[in-house]
Structure 1
Amino acid sequence: MNGVQLLLVIVGAIAVTGLAQRRGLQPALVITLVGFAASFIPGFTRLELDSEIILGIVLPPLLYSAALNFSFFSFARNFRPIIGLGVGLVVVTALVVGVFAAWVVPALTVGTAVILGAIVAPPDAVTAVAVGRKLGLPKRVMSILTGESLVNDAAALTLFTITVAAVTGAHTLVENPVLLFLYSAVVGIVVGLVLAVVAVLIRRLLKDSALETVLGLIVPFAAYLLAEQFEASGVLAVVAAGFAIGASSSEAGYETRLQERQVWSSLDVLLEAFVFAYMGLQLRFVIQDLRDAGESVWLVFGVGALVLLVVLLIRPVWVFLSFGRHFLADRIMRRKIASDERLRERMRRENEARIARGRRPRRYPVYLGWRESLVVSWTGMRGVVTLAAAAAVPLVIANGEPFPGRAEIQAIAFIVAVGTLLIQGLTLPALIRSLKLSDPGQEQYDREQAELARTVARDASVSVFAEFLAAPPPEVPPELLVRVTEMVAERSDDAERDPEPDDASRFGEMFGTLYRRVLQAQRAAVVAERNANRLDDDAVRGFLEKLDYQEAAIVSRLGNRL
């Protein structure tokens, strides 16, 4: 791999991303198509990366960033559908594709065909989430898609490891496949959590936003590599670390949080652009590999199209079987509640008791309807893990013979990855628009939670003002104290409004000091309410971000006097 060529690919991918965004197009699709064309440029050499580089360098920061910005509470609320899609569907896809591929591809045994199934099983939610965010998909759908993307890679890669070991005769730490699966998951999560605790402790000692941000950049790579040393899931280690550090982010300084948001956002754009460029640039060389292996390009691409069709069909069938069952159960339960007065009364008393204990009332679970299920069923675009796993297929088996069907596996995996990206990626926006999805109940709930966060913050401010007036700075006129308090109260009550202190040195100093005390009290109050399960985590995250920008504004104006 040529370093200059790699740099040109990255720069080109970023440029195409900018042009696509300016035109209102999906960057992933445009980059991939441009990559197709670029791969046939005369003299263009293959951009080849070791699978360990993709899995160990490209994947961890993408997963960590997603986990860092994703609410664990949302993950927990949607645990069943997330695990159903992220684990259950991955296993079913691998087995169904394996059986089908073994039937239609003579070069593949059942074992090698299941390896192909494991490779093409995990979807990549990057494109789906980007489209959903732009078109306003309901929050619950977005949470399910994001949560699925955090666990399906681990399931697929563990299954890939198990099947490759079975085919090649290699030994694994745990011979039983089910126990290996459990070991990989449990140890991976433990490694991630332990590393997160260590990182948080170190961050408390650093007290420097630049160093804390650098530490955050190291965490995903350390989590992945450390878990892999224990032959556990590096993916789950990264996700667990991201969840844990994200939950404790309120302990860091506002500068660290603001810097990390920008750093991870920029890194996401860079890595995603590179991944899709890398995918597109493989087309010519996939064809070349098939020819070198003596295979018919058209035949393999035809078989790949059939496997692609199977992959496209499995997800909708799974979604409507599982989600449809929940939808039916939901309707039955609602009718039971509507017709059973004693049940309604019992639920009312339970909620009153929860409110009396200072907790939020229990929300009756609302399952996805057919429109939301249809969208979820069409978000199976494959990506970086499929390409990396295909590249990781061994060259030989234990007895030294060539790995059977390796060229076909890699070609079909490429066809599935590109096919799902183009077919589903191009049609998903139109599908979402045509269904006109909305969730009035969720929107009302979000407004209520945002108002509750403001109320909690306002109450915290009152306590700070009372303490300030009870013990004011010495030799300060009472009218100045009142003026400072009123101005801080006015501005801190509106998280959208920037603080604007006077230029007078004494006034500005008091204003800034009191304002920051208010912001710190508000931050602590809303976090405490969230931890007590009385305030939604998403509402808290949004409110804390506004407080961070307010604190940055006041420090910027009065930094030399604070």
Structure 2
Amino acid sequence: MNGVQLLLIVGVGIAVTAVARRHRIEPGWVIVVLAAAASFIPGVPRLELESELILALVIPPLLYSATRNAPVTAFRANLKAIIYLGVVTVVLTAAVLGWLSSLLLPSIGVAAAFVLGTVLAPPDTITTVSHGDEMGLPKRATSILTGESLVNDATALTLFTIAIAAVNGEHATWGGGVAAFFRNALIGIAIGGGLSTITLLIRRRLGNPTLETSLVLLLPFTAFLIAEELHASGILAVVAAAFAVTINLTLDPNFQYPGGYRTRLQEEQVWKTLDFLLETFVFAYIGLQLKWVISSPNSARTLVAAFVLLIAAIVVRLVAVFVLFGRWRLRYDRIQRRAASFRSARRPPPPSWKETTLVGWTGMRGILTLAAAAGIPEHTASGAPFPGRDAIQAIALIVTLGTLLIQGTTIGWLARRLKFDLTTERAEYRAMRARGHALVEAARREPDASLDGVDAVDASFDAQRAAVGTAVRDRVISEEVARELIEDLDLRQAARHT
């Protein structure tokens, strides 16, 4: 890839996004289609990146940015659904697609077939979540999909490592895989938490918004790379770091410091810009591979296998989600009927059938699938060519493109057809915002005669932010409302200093 290609991708992406949003069309899907068509233009070179670059430069910032907006309380409240989707469903999908791959492509062997299954297993729900409000998604569905996106990649990469080891002739077991997953997860979370603590301690001493923002921008890359070097989960390291930094900087008064509001305002715009650039590149990168995939040797058999696996990937997720959530619903109803204790009656209910349908349809594959496929080694440990490597990479691209075009372009339509009743949810949200504004007003201090004008203004805003943090800890308002209030306070404080 050269610089001219990159500039063209970004420039065209800006123009396409502007037109698409004007017509209320999801720009990512338009970019995929246009990039796929552009790959057939004579003279257009193939855009290729090393998988290590994709994993290290694209995934960490996108994951960190998604986690910044994920409320911890919502993650905890929907933990059961998140585990179902991010762990159980990914394992089931990998197993079913691996088995199907062994039937469709017997020449590559069972172990390599399960490598393909793990490559195709994890959906990419981040893009859907980022446009949840525009689609009219209920908050709970958005929280579940956000939580899934923070867990499923780690599960899939662990399975991928086990499958690669099996191809290399190593003895791999499910028990060993479970132990490896928990080991990688715990070490990754510890690395992310440790780096976030260091970042918070350094940040408040820099005293410069540009330096502070630069430090935080380095955090996801650092957490990911250190964790991967230690053979731990780089994805969970990034998630842990993002949770810790965002919560502390926004809601903990102990981490408020003079000038912090300027950095928060600057960071918000920096992350939005970075998200746009990376998502534009990812969608274009996916589409630009199409010509070379369908023109590869044995493309007819590969295309048939890819089509079957594409349909299977969609169906397996739908079935798995309905079965898992359906069993949850049956158990919940039975417990509620027999509720013998206050605790059992207070258990969180499973998603409704409408939420289940929406979550089941949100199974688009994305950049991690392509990165994992590109990361398959050319040769096995014995020096022989890796069985079916070209076919696996081609199928990964076709399934990714297919899910984006089939599910990605229809998810908004489905959300509208399901006609979610958000009246109560929106009324509760407005009431919570009103409570938050009342708390902020009550915390506004009168100017302190012992302080000069600037210090008095800052002390007043600090007191209001402290009241917001206390309200979240007391569960008077949600983290989402608190973040909006904090941003509003930051803007007002910046205006007072202008």
- Scaled by the length of structure 1, the TM-score of the pair is 0.83
Pairing 1:472–2:474 present? no
Q: What is the identity, as a one-letter code, of the residue corresponding to 1:448?
A: A
Q: What residue in structure 1 maps to residue 15 of structure 2?
A: 15
Q: What is the identity, as a one-letter code, of the residue corresponding to 2:75?
A: F
Q: What residue in structure 2 maps to residue 457 of structure 1?
A: 440
- Does the aligned pair in 2 maintain the 1:98–1:113 contact within 8 Å? yes
Pairing 1:397–2:380 present? yes
Pairing 1:266–2:273 present? yes
Q: Deviations over 1:349-371 (max 9, x none)?
A: x9xxxxxxxxxxx9752321111
Provide the C-alpha distance between the structure 2 equivalents of 1:140 and 1:307, rounded to a whole number of angstroms: 30
Pairing 1:548–2:490 present? yes
Of stretches 449-458 and 377-386 in structure 1, the one that deviates more from structure 2 is: 449-458
Provide the C-alpha distance between the structure 1 equivalents of 2:110 and 2:422, rounded to a whole number of angstroms: 44
Residue 255 of structure 1 is aligned with which of 262, 267, 280?
Answer: 262
Q: What residue in structure 2 maps to residue 167 of structure 1?
A: 167
- Does the aligned pair in 1 maintain the 2:188–2:233 contact within 8 Å? yes
- Kindly report which structure 2 residues correspond to 1:421-500, keeping only aligned pairs within 5 A, or say none: 421-461=404-444, 464-465=445-446, 468=447, 472=449
Pairing 1:281–2:288 present? yes
Q: Deviations over 1:264-288 (max 9, x none)?
A: 0110000000000000000011123
Q: Deviation of residue 452 (structure 1)?
A: 2.5
Q: Deviation of residue 534 (structure 1)?
A: 4.0
Q: Secondary structure at the match of 2:385?
A: coil
Question: What stretches of structure 1 of length at least 5 have no aligned partner?
Answer: 351-361, 475-508, 557-562
Q: What is the identity, as a one-letter code, of the residue corresponding to 1:530?
A: V
* Same amino acid, percent of matched pairs: 46
Residue 369 of structure 2 is aligned with which of 386, 407, 430?
Answer: 386
Q: Secondary structure at the match of 1:248?
A: helix
Provide the C-alpha distance between the structure 1 equivalents of 2:19 and 2:242, rounded to a whole number of angstroms: 31
Provide the C-alpha distance between the structure 2 equivalents of 1:438 and 1:515, rounded to a whole number of angstroms: 42
Pairing 1:536–2:486 present? no
Provide the C-alpha distance between the structure 1 equivalents of 2:406 and 2:280, rounded to a whole number of angstroms: 19
Q: What is the identity, as a one-letter code, of the residue corresponding to 1:157?
A: L
Provide the C-alpha distance between the structure 1 equivalents of 2:185 and 2:131, rounded to a whole number of angstroms: 30
Provide the C-alpha distance between the structure 2 equivalents of 1:110 and 1:72, rounded to a whole number of angstroms: 40
Q: What is the identity, as a one-letter code, of the residue corresponding to 2:470?
A: A
Q: What is the identity, as a one-letter code, of the residue corresponding to 1:284?
A: K
- Does the aligned pair in 2 maintain the 1:383–1:417 contact within 8 Å? yes
Q: What residue in structure 1 maps to residue 403 of structure 2?
A: 420
Provide the C-alpha distance between the structure 2 equivalents of 1:14 and 1:331, rounded to a whole number of angstroms: 49
Q: What is the identity, as a one-letter code, of the residue corresponding to 2:63?
A: L
Q: What is the identity, as a one-letter code, of the residue corresponding to 1:418?
A: L
Q: Deviation of residue 131 (structure 1)?
A: 4.1
Q: What is the identity, as a one-letter code, of the residue corresponding to 1:535?
A: I
Provide the C-alpha distance between the structure 1 equivalents of 2:496 and 2:170, rounded to a whole number of angstroms: 61
Provide the C-alpha distance between the structure 2 equivalents of 1:176 and 1:57, rounded to a whole number of angstroms: 30
Residue 306 of structure 2 is aligned with which of 304, 307, 325?
Answer: 304
Provide the C-alpha distance between the structure 2 equivalents of 1:363 and 1:539, rounded to a whole number of angstroms: 24
Q: What is the identity, as a one-letter code, of the residue corresponding to 2:415?
A: I
- Does the aligned pair in 1 maintain the 2:432–2:477 contact within 8 Å? yes
Residue 317 of structure 1 is aligned with which of 311, 316, 319?
Answer: 319
- Does the aligned pair in 2 maintain the 1:67–1:239 contact within 8 Å? yes
Provide the C-alpha distance between the structure 2 equivalents of 1:438 and 1:105, rounded to a whole number of angstroms: 46
Q: Deviation of residue 100 (structure 1)?
A: 0.8
Q: Deviation of residue 70 (structure 1)?
A: 1.3
Q: Deviation of residue 299 (structure 1)?
A: 2.4
Q: Deviations over 1:352-393 (max 9, x none)?
A: xxxxxxxxxx97523211111100000000110001111111
- Does the aligned pair in 2 maintain the 1:170–1:398 contact within 8 Å? no
Q: What residue in structure 2 maps to residue 479 of structure 1?
A: none
- Does the aligned pair in 2 maintain the 1:108–1:405 contact within 8 Å? yes
Q: Deviation of residue 9 (structure 1)?
A: 2.1
Of stretches 362-371 and 256-265 in structure 1, the one that deviates more from structure 2 is: 362-371
Q: What residue in structure 2 maps to residue 367 of structure 1?
A: 350
Aligned in 2, Cα 1:193/1:171: closer, same or farther, shift over 3 Å? farther
- Does the aligned pair in 2 maintain the 1:168–1:396 contact within 8 Å? no
Provide the C-alpha distance between the structure 2 equivalents of 1:129 and 1:413, rounded to a whole number of angstroms: 23
Q: Deviations over 1:455-487 (max 9, x none)?
A: 3223322xx23xx4xx6369xxxxxxxxxxxxx
The total of aligned residue pairs comes to 490
Q: Deviations over 1:49-90 (max 9, x none)?
A: 000000000100000111112111111111111111011111
Provide the C-alpha distance between the structure 2 equivalents of 1:439 and 1:331, rounded to a whole number of angstroms: 23
Q: Deviations over 1:379-418 (max 9, x none)?
A: 0001100011111111111111111111111111111101
Aligned in 2, Cα 1:232/1:113: closer, same or farther, shift over 3 Å? same
Q: Deviation of residue 326 (structure 1)?
A: 2.5
Q: Deviations over 1:407-437 (max 9, x none)?
A: 1111111111011110001221111111111
Q: What residue in structure 1 maps to residue 72 of structure 2?
A: 72
Aligned in 2, Cα 1:538/1:168: closer, same or farther, shift over 3 Å? same
Q: What residue in structure 2 maps to residue 356 of structure 1?
A: none
Provide the C-alpha distance between the structure 2 equivalents of 1:211 and 1:171, rounded to a whole number of angstroms: 48
- Does the aligned pair in 1 maintain the 2:302–2:394 contact within 8 Å? yes
Q: Deviation of residue 331 (structure 1)?
A: 3.5
Aligned in 2, Cα 1:207/1:411: closer, same or farther, shift over 3 Å? same
Structure of higher CA gyration radius: 1
Provide the C-alpha distance between the structure 2 equivalents of 1:247 and 1:171, rounded to a whole number of angstroms: 42
Q: Deviation of residue 321 (structure 1)?
A: 1.1
Q: What is the identity, as a one-letter code, of the residue corresponding to 1:276?
A: F
Q: What residue in structure 2 maps to residue 215 of structure 1?
A: 215
Q: Secondary structure at the match of 1:48?
A: coil
- Does the aligned pair in 1 maintain the 2:66–2:126 contact within 8 Å? no
- Does the aligned pair in 1 maintain the 2:136–2:416 contact within 8 Å? no
Q: Deviation of residue 162 (structure 1)?
A: 1.5
Q: Deviation of residue 519 (structure 1)?
A: 1.8
- Does the aligned pair in 2 maintain the 1:6–1:47 contact within 8 Å? no
Q: Deviations over 1:204-228 (max 9, x none)?
A: 1112111110001100000000001
Q: Deviation of residue 130 (structure 1)?
A: 3.8
Aligned in 2, Cα 1:364/1:168: closer, same or farther, shift over 3 Å? closer
- Does the aligned pair in 1 maintain the 2:306–2:395 contact within 8 Å? yes
Residue 376 of structure 1 is aligned with which of 352, 359, 365?
Answer: 359
Pairing 1:524–2:466 present? yes
Aligned in 2, Cα 1:210/1:119: closer, same or farther, shift over 3 Å? same
Q: What residue in structure 1 maps to residue 390 of structure 2?
A: 407
- Scaled by the length of structure 2, the TM-score of the pair is 0.93
